[in-house]
Amino acid sequence: MTMKSLAAAASFAALAALPSAALAQHDHAGMGHQMSGDHAAPAAAKAGQAIDIAVTGDGFVPASIKVKQGQPVKLVVTRKTDRTCATEIVIKDAGINQKLPLNQPVTVEFTPKKSGQLRYACGMDMISGVIVVE
Edge-to-edge strand list for the sheet holding 64-67:
64-67, 128-133, 116-121, 88-91, 96-99
Q: What tens digit of pLDDT does each residue of 8-66 get?
A: 344 333 333 433 333 333 333 333 333 333 332 222 333 467 899 999 999 999 999 99
> Is residue 70 domain-shared with residue 123, that is, in the same domain?
yes
> Is residue 68 domain-shared with residue 89, that is, in the same domain?
yes
**Of 133, 131, 132, residue with least CA distance to 53:** 131
> Is residue 62 domain-shared with residue 122, that is, in the same domain?
yes
Number of domains present in the structure of the chain: 2
> Is residue 116 domain-shared with residue 65, that is, in the same domain?
yes
> Is residue 27 domain-shared with residue 88, that is, in the same domain?
no
Radius of gyration of the chain (CA): 22
**Of 51, 47, 48, 55, residue with least CA distance to 104:** 55
| Domain span including residue 30 | 1-40
Residue 67 has pLDDT above 70, yes or no: yes
> Is residue 22 domain-shared with residue 63, that is, in the same domain?
no
Q: What tens digit of pLDDT does each residue of 76-134 get?
A: 999 999 999 999 999 999 999 999 999 999 999 999 999 999 999 999 999 999 999 99
> Is residue 10 domain-shared with residue 76, that is, in the same domain?
no
Residue 112 has a pLDDT of 94
Domain holding 121: CATH number? 2.60.40.420
> Is residue 21 domain-shared with residue 60, that is, in the same domain?
no
> Is residue 32 domain-shared with residue 77, that is, in the same domain?
no
> Is residue 105 domain-shared with residue 55, that is, in the same domain?
yes
Q: Which three-class secondary structure state does DSSP give residue 104?
A: coil
Q: Where are the alpha helices (DSSP H) in 1-134?
A: 3-17, 20-25, 43-47
| Residues making up the chain, counted from first to last | 134
Distance CA 130, CA 78 (A): 17
CA 42 to centroid of chain Cα atoms: 11
